[in-house]
Structure 1
Amino acid sequence: MVNLLVEAGLKTETRARLDDVRESRWVSKGWTDLHVAVAFDRTDELLSLIKVRERGSLDCRDKEGRTPLHLAASKGHERCARVLVDAGADVDARSNDGRTAVYRAASNGDRRMVEMLMEVGADPTIASTDRGRSALDVALDKGHKEVVEILEWGEAVLNAARRGELKHLESLLEKDASVKYRDQYGLTALHAATIKGHKDAVMMLVEFGSDIECQDTEGHTPLHLAVEGGSIETVEVLIDRGANVNAKSKAGATPLYMARAMGYDEISQFLLEKGASSSSSLPSSLSSSLSSML
């Protein structure tokens, strides 16, 4: 472990610190080089180490089942957490006690870490196995008001958008409720509003900073779901605000492909007029409908 850390550029401030790495306590914890780099909050060294590892090894575990991301969340090392997430670490990985990274951040009252993890799709509803509590439960128990607001208001925004409740939605957004909250399918409030055809809610969410190209777990953008919902007005709103008409889902479906597959001739024609490509290869089958999820 020491050799790999040194090769990757991990500079120790003192000889004693290098000796610490050698000490059996690291071995007894089951920590890898990634765990150690995160423990010292060494972002540059972490990046170097990641370059020589396979993607799956980012979720390596210590003897308690903790991944490097768990450790970053527990210690509040936001930059290290961001590096790991950007490199493909599993944001919902569970340790032996069933706790996720967002659970640990919520338990510590770390608002910034919770926000970052939520933005990249962490599921705050996952309950730990030791006490059966979610991130919201532990934040409530410990009185971390700001974290509770992030977790509660984010879900409230999604629900208000889904139902097209404009006054409630506006009230939440004016209180700085997050528009980046995602449910277990990776759906944001903007996804929910678009598939339901709530164009006014869509306009409001975009105005308050919703990412118009955000993708759910299947790679669908809000435009994909607006097409699936069959509302040409909502499709127009998104395209007028810069939505990519040729965005592809993980299955390779474009909005135009979805419109044609669903028999929405008017939407298909509109997409073509707005620059949709009709020459790209089409997937063999359309991703399953998300309507039942909303």
Structure 2
Amino acid sequence: MDKLVNADVKELNLLFTGNKKCSTTFRLTNLMHTMSVAVSLTTTNPSIFTFTQQFSIIPPLCTSSFTLNLSKPSNHPPISSPPDTVLVKSTMLPTGKASPEDLRRLFIKPGPHIFKDVTIPISFVGFHVIESLISTSSNVSKTLETAFVLSKAITWCDESEITSLLLPAVTAGNSYVVSSLIDAGADVNKRSPDGESLISLAIRSGDVDTVSVLVESRVLIDHEHDRLLHDAVFANRVDMIEVLCMNYLDLDLDLNSIDFELGQTPVHIAASYGNVEALELLIALGCDVDVADYNGWTAVHCAAVNGHVEAVNLLLSSCKYVKYALDKEKKTAFDLAVENRHIELYDTLHLGDVLCRAARKGDVDVMRKCLAEGARVNAKDQNGWTALHRAAFKGHVEGVKVLLDHGGLVDLVDGSGYTALHRAVEAGHVKVAMMLIAHGAKANMKSLAVPCDLDCFRNCNAVRGKIQRA
């Protein structure tokens, strides 16, 4: 005979109730037909678990009940790895009688008379176990231990409890718990008390895996309340934007949807916060950068009022003329930049254009004024032309001199690969060409297709030779 008693359970499940007493009951049956059996109950962690009676006597073929208690109430279940266990030891008791002290002494002495009948693992189960897993760790991972604890705990929850746990799991960004709850039947379309969808909360939690789990679960989008792209863009989470946009047909997602407070699209949000990575992705996806909000602001207005230089440059590279758009107060993005003293934007939004126009007209007074106010002398327009290209092409000697005196670079090339010298020669302006060469412009006309004036070409090389000999 290898054991004297048999347990009615293979594991003990304690329904954890959170800072309250919890216990579970099990039964042991004496397998002996004619003799009483003494039993001893111990746990691997006696500081956590206690028994109503540690020692007992079971008459022949009789069954006795035993209760395992959590000794100290706690907010969190004392889950251990490996799980705590109950060890049931037994020994034959021919007399059928013994005091508790006699039993204690009996089991202290090792020997063949002591049987180790049963080892029973202890599991904490129920709603509060899952709640504790969520609250104690924001990164519950799919380990064997977690999988076992979670699966056991879920089986003791009803459908309403499982659904109610989904909200804190999503908010905490526990993607594995979220996935397990959904598999167990949680309602993914249940909203928070404030009316927010779970996927909106997942985006704000910052966990892209949780967002992916909810998207894959076919969560429904309420277009009157949900602004998923706005939330993802606000967080500057390109990975979440990609997840949402890759599934936008399934989600019935509008890439140019507006919020109801300001009428702003995700592009407006990205521009307002200078979230350049998000802005680049939205533009690549085809979002409209020209659309205006309720105040008449385009995305460029939003970026300009907040001084986001990189965002402004990106938007202008996507649409050259949006900088001239007027809001409801007839203000351009430049006007908003000036009001907020974002000096670094003056050239991009206005002064660069004025400088180029003045260079084309040869208006040196306006050119000097623009340069004094912060215009960048070497800034390029949409065709790659600098102010020096324009002044040289038009043959304005004084204008070229002003630009050179303010740091104009003679060898910058435009979108066609031409320098200001190329443009001067092309238009036949000998004096301008000579001035540029005198300031270091290279006379090698490699990029010039066909010079309009052969004499000009020869004069340029002649002047270059004189400079070199000097």
State the TM-score, normalized to the length of structure 1: 0.56
**Normalized per residue, which structure has more strand?**
2
Residue equivalent to 1:274: 439
Deviations 1:78-137 (A, max 9, x none): 33137745x9957x9627xx62699444787972268765555375966xxxxxxx9524
Match of 2:358 among 177, 193, 204: 193
Deviation at 1:66, TM superposition (A): 3.7
Match of 1:23 among 194, 209, 214: 214
Q: Which digits, 9 at most, give the CA deviation of each residue in 1:47-78, with x for residues without a partner?
A: xx9xxxxxxx9xx99943449xx624235553
Relative CO higher for 1 or 2, CA cutoff 8 Å, sep ≥ 6?
1
- List runs of 5+ in structure 1 lacking aligned partners: 1-11, 50-56, 127-133, 141-147, 158-171, 287-294
Aligned equivalent of 1:14, options 163, 167, 173: 173
- Is the contact made by 1:213 and 1:243 (CA closer than 8 Å) also made in structure 2? yes
How many residues are aligned here? 221
The verdict on how the C-alpha distance between 1:108 and 1:188 changes in structure 2, with shifts beyond 3 A counting, is closer
- Which residue does the alignment assign to 1:262? 427
1:228 aligned counterpart, secondary structure: helix
Whether the aligned pair in 2 keeps the contact of 1:119 and 1:181 (CA below 8 Å) is no
Cα displacement (A) at 1:230: 1.6
For 1:84 and 1:192, the matched residues in 2 are separated by 30
Query: Is residue 342 of structure 2 the alignment partner of residue 180 of structure 1?
Result: no
Match status 1:249 vs 2:414: yes
Check 1:36–1:284 CA distance in 2 against 1; reply closer, same or farther (3 A cut).
Answer: farther
Alpha-carbon distance between aligned partners in 2 of 1:203 and 1:21, rounded to the nearest angstrom: 56
The aligned counterpart of 2:276 is 81
Is 2:401 the partner of 1:236?
yes
Q: Report the Cα offset of residue 40 of structure 1.
A: 1.7
Q: Match for residue 385 of structure 2?
A: 220
User: 1:150, 1:216 → 2: CA distance?
Assistant: 19
8 Å contact kept, 1:78–1:113: no
233, 236, 255: which one aligns with 1:38: 233
Percent identity between the aligned chains?
20
Offset of residue 210 of structure 1: 0.6
| Gaps in structure 2 of 5+ consecutive residues | 1-170, 175-201, 223-228, 258-264, 452-470
In 2, the alpha carbon distance for the partners of 1:13 and 1:192 equals: 56
Is residue 99 of structure 1 aligned with residue 267 of structure 2? no
Equivalence for 2:254: 64
* Cα pair distance change 1:117/1:199, threshold 3 Å: farther
Per-residue CA shift, 1:203-236, capped at 9, x if unaligned? 1111111111111111101111111222110101
Amino acid of the structure 2 residue aligned with 1:265: V
What whole-Å deviation, never above 9, does each CA across 1:122-180 have from its counterpart, x for those lacking one?
A: 75966xxxxxxx9524x43xxxxxxx5444759xx9xxxxxxxxxxxxxx9x9x89443
**Structure 1 residues 64 and 199, CA, compared in 2 at 3 Å: closer, same or farther?**
same
Q: What is the CA distance between 1:182 and its match in structure 2?
A: 5.3
The answer (yes or no) to whether the contact 1:219–1:250 under 8 Å persists in 2 is yes
Query: Structure 2 length normalisation: TM-score?
Result: 0.37
How far apart, in 2, do the equivalents of 1:248 and 1:26 lie? 53
- Which of structures 1 and 2 has the bigger CA Rg? 2
